[in-house]
Homo-oligomer: A and B are copies of this chain.
Amino acid sequence: MTPPPEPSKPHLDLRLDLERRSRLGMVEAIWGEHKSAAQIAAALEGLHQAGQVGLVTRVVHSKAEAVLTGLEARGHDPTTWCYHPDGRCICSAPLPQSDPERAAVAIVAGGSSDLGVASEASLALACHGIASDLVLDVGVAGLHRLLGKLDCLRRAPLLIACAGMEGALPTVLAGLLPQPVIGVPVSVGYGVSAGGQAALQGMLASCAPGLTVVNIDNGYGAAMAALRILGTSAMGLSGADPGS
């Protein structure tokens, strides 16, 4: 009997924007959600060969294992990359040193369900040599927790505020502190808050002046906005280079 008919081969190609680093001061991040383990492994290999930091977002645990095992099977040192389960990212390892003299970006979140988005932002900053402090569980339903952290938050050059449900945290923060505040709506909730729409609307509609917003769950985008604000584009990223 003849074998069953063979489907044709899938297309595995991925053109990396390696110029983004010189143009915008940012590494090319790979959005991993709709890519196969093979595609992600190929992208990490390409970035590694170009001497650039690798950052892949939205990778679930099982896919990350397949990526890392696959890279080892192709002869790479298994310690070249590391999977960070809280932020669901694969990053080059070790992450670049951040400047101990610089104040760290504050990443604030209302509840423990916002941890994933906050961690993605933290990792994306770390890939560019920027330190950050995570301040979790300071939701506005228990305001004392946030007010107790105000002095510490006042020292950060800017704040990234992640919140699901009604998304009021960035509004309260931007009313209390003068720094840039970047709101990140989080897709945690149910009913009207399912998918993060209520949080997004709330942040855009905010009565606090000068709050800016990124897409729902876009921790990476908030980090890149922070990078633009911190003016690190001119600093070069040599410290962040895993190939050196």
Give the B-binding residues of A (Cβ under 8 A). 2, 4-5, 7-11, 13-15, 17, 19-20, 23-26, 29, 31, 33-35, 39, 58, 61, 64-65, 68-69, 72, 78-79, 81-86, 110-113, 115, 119, 136-137, 139-145, 165-168, 171-172, 174-182, 185, 187-218, 220-221, 223-229, 233-234
Contacts and interface: CB of A to CB of B under 8 A. Distances in A.
A81 to B, nearest CB: 7
Contacts of A182: 212
Contact of A142 (B17, B115, B190, B215): B17
A14 to B, nearest CB: 5
Given A168-B171, A192-B204, A213-B213, 10 more contacts: A10-B85, A14-B112, A140-B168, A140-B175, A166-B166, A166-B203, A180-B228, A190-B218, A197-B201, A212-B212
A13 B191 contact: no
A24 B178 contact: yes
Oligomeric state, in copies: 8
A176 B143 contact: yes
Contacts of A81: 5
Contact of A17 (B83, B145, B193): B145
Contact of A4 (B33, B65, B204): B65
A72 B168 CA distance: 39
A242 to B, nearest CB: 14
A182 B210 CA distance: 10
Contact of A204 (B15, B65, B168, B198): B198
